[in-house]
Amino acid sequence: MARALDATPRCTPDLEIRSAGSEHLVQNSATGHVHILNSLAGLVLRHCDGKTPLAQIVDDIVAATSVERARAERDILDVCADFRAKGLTD
């Protein structure tokens, strides 16, 4: 898992992200797809700048929430795999 936490995911260039209450609406202008993310997933996606390693994103999430580190690591790795599968990150 340590190797995966070194990854530096980057949002694809055609995304528009808007907050709507506790949810985030993500539109991919290249595909026309719209995704609704919960607050944690939206926060993770906003950190996907191609420079920030997942380990730092985990640290930031743990510092900002009451989520335990082990759970944050699992959840963030899962959500990032989902982002990649949906074409939201490279």
Domain that holds residue 50: 4-85
Q: What distances in angstroms separate CA 38 from CA 1, 2, 18, 30, 42, one per listed residue?
A: 24, 25, 12, 22, 6
> 45-64: per-residue pLDDT in tens?
999 999 999 999 999 999 98
Residue 65 has a pLDDT of: 87
Tell me if 34 is assigned to some domain.
yes
pTM: 0.89
Number of domains in the chain: 1
- Tell me, what CATH number does 74's domain have? 3.90.930.60
Q: Kindly state the tokens that stand for 36.
A: 């609704």
Tell me if 90 is assigned to some domain.
no
Mapped onto helix, strand or coil, the DSSP state of residue 1 is coil
